[in-house]
Amino acid sequence: MPKLKRLALTGLLLLTACGFSPIYGSHKDKGPVSEALSTVAIDSIPDSNGQFLRNKLMDRFYFHGRPTHPQARLSVTLRSTEMDLGIQKDATASRSQLNLWADYVLRDDDGKELLKRTAHSVASYNKINAQYGQVATQRNAYERTLTEVSEQITSVVSLYFAEHKEDFQKAQGTTGPTAPTP
């Protein structure tokens, strides 16, 4: 057991020496990516699935409430398909597969397109004879795909801000930490 602990400790020390740094920073010091995410306005997304996705994105983007003066705007359009699987002898399906796509565009406050991508997720669910059970399993599949899509969108937008933090800080009128002069 002591060998395993030493190996884990050595691995952690090597990881910190390689230049690894978390994208978001900690919530206490509000890293530059967390700061940038909190200045993105998320447009309304139609229907209940859109509202669910928007709420998930707001949970991931905003740590201290919605932005009062947004620097960027995120627009999302959802589309989905359902395909019957597991066709039985009586031509009824016992399973369905849900494919959900979210096309999203991040624009700056001048309307210039900064990022345009599509997030995709797939979930399967059982089709059961009880009507409420069917509705519940289908809703659960939508919630799973929407949660996955919200994580994908958050990751891609976060990486965008991590790669362009200097540009974003200039646009905000802030600067990052400067190196001490000797």
Considering the four listed CATH numbers 3.40.190.10, 3.30.160.150, 3.50.50.60, 3.30.460.80, the one that applies to the domain covering 29-168 is: 3.30.160.150
- pLDDT score, position 18: 54
- pLDDT score, position 178: 37
What does the mean pLDDT of the chain come to?
Answer: 82
- pLDDT score, position 136: 92
- pLDDT score, position 177: 40
Please spell the DSSP secondary structure of 23-72, one letter per residue. Answer: SS--TTTT-HHHHHHTTEEE---SHHHHHHHHHHHHHHH-SSS--SS-SE
- pLDDT score, position 139: 94
* pTM, full prediction: 0.75
Listed by start position, the domains of the chain span: 29-168
Question: Which residue numbers in the chain have pLDDT < 70?
Answer: 1, 7, 9, 12-30, 166-182
Give dist(CA 37, CA 42) in Å, integer.
10
Q: Is 5 exposed, middle or buried (0-12, 13-18, 19+ CB in 10 A)?
A: exposed
- pLDDT score, position 91: 72
- pLDDT score, position 167: 65
- Which structure tokens are listed for 137? 């399993």
